[in-house]
Every structure is written in structure tokens, then in C-alpha cells.
Amino acid sequence: MEKKTYILYGLVVIIVVALGFAIRRANQQPGDYDGFAQCLAESGAKMYSAWWCGHCQEQKRWFGKSFEVFDESGGHVECSPGGIKTFSDFCKKVDGFSGTPYWIMGDGEQLRGKQPLEILAQKSGCEL
């Protein structure tokens, strides 16, 4: 092989490794709403959703990366586990449940449908 080919392969390897480090670093950065998501979960708020529900996916996107914090803190309930497209018996038995997304705030207030983060902040007392 020519010297130019080795140099080209070397540059490609360096670029791929650099991109890998950049992606890893970006994934380690906190989300914009991590504190809010943690507070919301600690306040007792629960979001019932289904993986196949478009409105649920949009609600999760509003949290961005911080939805992981809310989920890991026990605030999220998946109502269609195991890849099924029906609601679990557990969710069907939740007081007032009729579809997703469905929120129950820490004080028991029920909110149906997507909720703007500002409304969730107001209802929970958590700072956005």
C-alpha cells in the first residue's frame, strides 16, 4: 500500500475515535430538566404511558434527556409492557385511567393527556 493510503486510513480511525468520545461525553451531560424531573417524581407524580402512544412520545420529548431521570426515579409507569399494544390490567385498575398519557399528581389530582411542563411545575410545586 502507498503511504497516502495509510495516512487516509489513520485519519479515518482518528475521526471515528474522536466522534465516539464526543458522543459519549454528550450522553454524560445532564439534561436540561433533570432537577425538575427528580422533584416531580419525588412529589409523587406518576405518568402512565404506552410505548406505542404518539402523545406519550411527545410528552417524553418535552422532557428531553431528563425523562430518564423521571423514569428512573419511579415517576413513569409503562402500561403496555412486553411490546403488547393493549393496556396492562395494572393500569386499567388505576382510578380514573381511560388512556395515555395519564398523570396522577402527588396530591391525587388526575390530568388526562399531554401536560405542558409549566402545568406540571405549577401542580407539583417543582421549579422548572
At a CB cut-off of 8 Å and minimum separation 6, what does 118 contact?
128
Q: Same domain for 21 and 63?
A: no
For residue 117, which of 61, 38, 62 has the smallest C-alpha distance? 62
Provide the residue range defining the domain that includes 60. 34-124
Residues 19 and 51 in one domain: no
My answer on whether 41 and 103 are in the same domain is: yes
pTM of the model: 0.77
In DSSP terms, 47 is beta-bridged to 76, 103
**pLDDT of the chain, 128 residues: tens digit per residue:** 687 776 776 676 677 665 655 555 555 577 899 999 999 999 999 999 999 999 999 999 999 999 999 999 999 999 999 888 999 999 999 999 999 999 999 999 999 999 999 999 999 999 99
Kindly report the number of other CB atoms within 10 A of residue 50's CB atom: 24
Q: Does residue 38 share a domain with residue 24?
A: no
